[in-house]
């Protein structure tokens, strides 16, 4: 695993992951879950400061899939919470109004806490985390996204292709919304991605250019198994341990 920057394949044209990668996702995720069950979580290098961590699930998923990650954050000494809205079925109605409601709901979850929160989102949940952070910037410490295609088009994700196949919807992505999703929040932001992701294009999980307090981190693993991927856990632990207003880019996580 390496942090953002200078790989030869990074300039390759973005494309939807192959159907071979997509088809192997459940098996690879199951193998990764078995490894997770047999391997102890990496111990904390120091006790967490207790700040809240809100975790947003991916499309079609709920808090169960990210329970290993939340449990690990709690073990480290943070207050990790599920988003508490059940299964993620996608935004409903007007996107702006829906995001405002989600931001208000998230603000309610954060009321008992004085410290600013880290927002973590997997896949579509990462888009929620980024957009909520834009609406709640004073309450947010940082954002971590895991396999989140914020820099995407119709051809960059098997999810969009499957939705159109099932619904017969050939509508293209709105360019204004696409540009909005690409823009990172005004807080430190880390995007984790895998070149072996069978659901979304790994290039769509990367920022188009270097920005201050924004980084892309490559990990190895499937899309469906990222919630219990050991490298994801290590990166999250390192990011959570950054002192407020002293954030630094990730150097290396073995």
pLDDT tens digit string along 177-205? Answer: 778 888 999 999 999 999 999 888 898 89
Nearest C-alpha neighbor of 64 from the set 227, 216, 251: 227
Domain assignment present for 87: yes
Whether residue 1 is predicted with pLDDT greater than 60 in this model: the reply is no
Domain assignment present for 184: yes
Instruction: Look at residue 169 in the predicted model and tell me its pLDDT.
Output: 53
Least confident residue range of 115-129, 161-175, 179-193:
161-175
What are residue 96's phi and psi, to 5 degrees?
A: -65, -45
Domain assignment present for 169: yes
Instruction: Look at residue 102 in the predicted model and tell me its pLDDT.
Output: 97
Domain assignment present for 59: yes
Domain assignment present for 25: yes
Averaged pLDDT for residues 199-224: 89
Q: How many folded domains does the chain comprise?
A: 1
Q: What is the pTM of this model?
A: 0.88
Whether residue 107 is predicted with pLDDT greater than 70 in this model: the reply is yes
Position 138 confidence tier, pLDDT thresholds 50, 70, 90:
very high
Nearest C-alpha neighbor of 74 from the set 87, 102, 55: 55
Q: Which residues on adjacent β-strands are paired with residue 79?
A: 52
Instruction: Look at residue 104 in the predicted model and tell me its pLDDT.
Output: 98
Domain assignment present for 248: no
Instruction: Look at residue 254 in the predicted model and tell me its pLDDT.
Output: 58
Instruction: Look at residue 153 in the predicted model and tell me its pLDDT.
Output: 61
Least confident residue range of 21-35, 65-79, 156-170:
156-170
The boundaries of the domain holding residue 136 are: 16-233
The Cα–Cα gap between 77 and 71 comes to 10
Averaged pLDDT for residues 222-241: 93
Residues 6+ apart with CB under 8 A from 222: 24, 25, 28, 29, 32, 194, 196, 197, 198
Handedness of CA 220, 79, 110, 85 (dihedral sign): positive
Domain assignment present for 90: yes
**Residue 73 belongs to domain with CATH number:** 3.40.50.1820
Instruction: For residue range 81-105, list pLDDT tens digits in order.
Output: 999 999 998 888 888 999 999 999 9
The Cα–Cα gap between 24 and 150 comes to 23
């Amino acid at each position: 695993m390496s942090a953002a920057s200078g790989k030869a394949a990074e300039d390759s044209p973005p494309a939807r992951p192959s159907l071979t990668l997509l088809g192997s996702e459940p098996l690879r995720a199951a193998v990764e879950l078995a490894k997770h069950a047999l391997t102890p979580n990496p111990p904390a290098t120091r006790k967490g400061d207790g700040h809240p961590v809100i975790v947003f699930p991916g499309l079609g998923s709920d808090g169960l899939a990210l329970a290993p990650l939340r449990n690990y954050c709690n073990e480290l000494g943070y207050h990790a919470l599920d988003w508490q809205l059940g299964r993620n079925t996608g935004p409903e109605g007007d996107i702006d109004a829906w995001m405002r409601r989600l931001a208000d709901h998230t603000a309610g979850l954060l009321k008992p806490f004085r410290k600013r929160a880290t927002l973590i989102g997997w896949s579509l949940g990462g888009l929620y985390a980024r957009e909520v952070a834009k609406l709640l910037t004073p309450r947010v410490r940082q954002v971590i996204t895991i396999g989140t295609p914020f820099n995407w088009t119709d051809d960059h994700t098997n999810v969009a292709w499957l939705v159109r196949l099932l619904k017969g919807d050939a509508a293209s992505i709105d360019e204004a919304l696409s540009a909005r999703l690409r823009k990172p929040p005004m807080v430190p932001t880390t995007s984790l991605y895998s070149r072996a992701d069978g659901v979304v294009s790994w290039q769509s999980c990367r920022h188009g250019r270097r920005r201050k307090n924004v980084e892309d981190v490559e990990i190895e693993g499937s899309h469906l198994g990222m919630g219990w991927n050991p490298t994801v856990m290590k990166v999250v632990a390192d990011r959570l341990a950054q002192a407020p207003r002293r954030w630094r880019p990730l150097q290396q996580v073995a």
